[in-house]
Amino acid sequence: MTLNLKAKIYNDEDAARAHLEAIQWPDGPVCPHCGVVNEATLLAGKSTRPGVYKCRPCQKPFSVTVGSVFERSKVPLTKWLLATELLTSSKKGISAHQISRMLGVTYKTAWFMMHRIREAMAPKDGSEPPLGGDGFVVEADETYIGKKDGPKGRKAPGAGGAGHKRTVLSLVERGGKIRSFKLGAPTAGEIKAKIHTNVDPTSTLHTDGSQVYKGYLRVESHESVDHKSEYVRPGKSEKVHTNSAEGFFSVFKRGMVGTYQHCGEQHLQRYLAEFDFRMNNRIALGVDDTMRAVKALEGINGKRLTYRRINAA
């Protein structure tokens, strides 16, 4: 689908707000203060900003961006929606310089917007079911990105090999979803903890021959491939390889080098969330560019709202 820059939601603030409200509030306005659904009145006075509602039960005002990553921003919603569309549809990401030029905002504003949108793309803790399951293959693989932050021009003591780089672990359900993590150190303990939390124990785990995966007990079946001599070998049921994870690393690295020119260590997890998000909402899984942007907009609300219906209470 072609991006229609003339679409109303990118040009008309009321249309942009209505679009966001429809995504955030499918059952009517949700009060961010008390959690009540569809019990608010739209304020229409001349002195009121457009899109402000007043909650009847708690009497507090709110709009669709309260409690979201767009809150307190002076950037119009039309620009937020366009930036979200551009970031979610660009396979290798899009730079803050490019967004700054396309939206007519400063570089600093563009940079800030992009990080807010990445936050919206990140999965909420514990909201996703574990990867894999009985009859499913999950690949686990690590890679190394850039250098750890340290004094400029000086190697950290003991640095060398992969030790001075940042480690990324990706867990991929073959043909399905991915979850990537920035690790403090590529230690067996940390990797195993991530697998325990994120992979269904009845899955078959495919890894390389690295020692960190040795003696892996929780996952039912573990098959590894030795990269020194072979890249794919026949497993019990399916070929043993980590090609899905490696394919993802290749896209991620090209994006980080070509588009983002690397990033500070403190931001790495957010960039991983961005690339995971596009992978998890790809065409092959039935998600087109428009749906992908909607999914990101669904995630702008970081607060865990306790939805409450007035008549159910």
Smallest gap from residue 36 Cβ to Zn ion (A): 5
Question: Is 38 or 106 the residue whose CB approaches Zn ion more closely?
Answer: 38
- Least distance from Zn ion to the Cβ atom of residue 249, Å: 46
Question: What span, in angstroms and rounded, lies between the C-alpha atoms of 239 and 257?
Answer: 31
Contact window for Zn ion (CB under 5 A) among 47-55, 188-196, 241-249, 284-292: 47-55
Least distance in Å: CB of 21 to Zn ion? 16
Residue choice 52, 58, 122, 305 for contact with Zn ion (CB under 5 A): 58
Smallest gap from Cβ 62 to Zn ion, in A, equals: 7
Residue 18 CB, nearest distance to Zn ion (Å)?
Answer: 21
Of 34 and 43, CB closest to Zn ion:
34
Measured from the CB atom, is 59 or 237 closer to Zn ion? 59
Binders of Zn ion: how many residues, by CB under 5 A?
Answer: 5
Owner of token pair 């359900």: 173
* Close Cβ partners of 192 (under 8 Å, ≥ 6 residues apart): 212, 216, 218
| Amino acid, single-letter form, for residue 89 | S
Q: Which of the stretches 56-64, 94-102, 206-214, 260-268 binds Zn ion when contact is defined by CB under 5 A?
A: 56-64
Nearest residue to 297 via CA among 65, 95, 125: 65
Stretch that binds Zn ion, among 30-38, 66-74, 199-207, 276-284 (CB under 5 A): 30-38
CA distances from 149 to 40, 145, 170, 190 (A): 49, 12, 22, 20
In contact, 17 and 64? CB cutoff 8 Å: yes
Q: How far is the CB of 31 from Zn ion (least distance, A)?
A: 3
Tell me if 31 contacts Zn ion by CB under 5 A: yes
- Distance separating alpha carbons of residues 300 and 298, to the nearest angstrom: 6
33 contributes a contact to Zn ion by CB under 5 A: yes
34 binds Zn ion (CB under 5 A): yes
* 55 touching Zn ion, by CB under 5 A: yes
Of 181, 195, 184, 193, the closest CA to residue 139 belongs to: 195
Handedness of CA 186, 144, 114, 149 (dihedral sign): positive
Closest CA to 97 of 86, 88, 108: 108
Which residues are at the interface with Zn ion (CB under 5 A)?
31, 33-34, 55, 58
